[in-house]
Homo-oligomer: A and B are copies of this chain.
Amino acid sequence: MTQSNQTFSIGEIAREFELTPRSIRFYEEQGLIHPSREGMTRVYSHKDKVRLKLILRGKRLGFSLAEIRNLFDLYDTNPNSAEQLKTLLHLTKTKREVLQLQLNDINMLMAELNDVEARCKEELDALTSEQRGTK
């Protein structure tokens, strides 16, 4: 089996993910990650890194830390009850709808950006050639 038992300090993690230690501790305080300890100091494993990657992705997509925590909780609780599976299915459905809306927004914005850009370039061309003419 492929397993990495390498561990990391909070500083190393902070540099790797371009976060402050404060943020990482805050995520733990909010129940998003559960690093183990050696005495007082936090020790991060590969699993914790995976969680952090997911957290950051969620944040980029506009999820709140509380929402991310809920998703983690659902994913973590061994999904054996039919009830839990159903709520999970429902959650994925609504999230998918939100994401689809975001996709639509992005496509519309991209189209507008293309528009703006094209007009900008036209204007620029016009300006520069006019300047050549009046030189």
Contact = CB atoms under 8 A, between A and B. Distances in A.
Interface of A: 57, 60-62, 75, 79-80, 82, 85-86, 88-89, 92, 95-96, 99, 101-103, 105-106, 108-110, 113, 116-117, 120-121, 123-124, 127-128
Number of copies: 2
B99 A110 contact: yes
Contact of A79 (B86, B101, B120): B120
Tell me the interface secondary structure of chain A in the complex. helix
Contacts of A117: 89, 92
A101 B61 CA distance: 10
Contacts of A123: 79-80, 85
Contacts of A106: 61, 99, 102-103
Nearest to A56: B105
A8 B25 CA distance: 49
